[in-house]
Amino acid sequence: MSIKFLSDTTLLESYRKAIELGLDDDFVNLLKEELARRNLLPNDHLSN
């Protein structure tokens, strides 16, 4: 089995787009947790 990972840039773009599109909160939180794990949370994360 091959495991694929999102690049940091793709992860950030996916997080912002998920918020913009109003996707499921659980999905947004999953992306946010991964951003936090990578120390990549955007500065505006407190407003979301």
| Confidence (pLDDT) at 16 | 96
Q: Is the pTM of this model over 0.85?
A: no
Distance from C-alpha of 32 to C-alpha of 41, rounded to nearest angstrom: 7
| Confidence (pLDDT) at 44 | 58
Contact predicate 8/38, CB 8 Å: yes
Per-residue pLDDT of the chain (48 residues; tens, 9 = 90+): 777 788 999 999 999 999 999 999 999 999 999 999 999 987 755 544
| Confidence (pLDDT) at 4 | 79
CA angle 29, 8, 44 (to 5 degrees): 50
* CATH (residue range 8-42): 1.10.287
What is the number of other CB atoms lying within 10 angstroms of the CB of residue 15?
A: 23
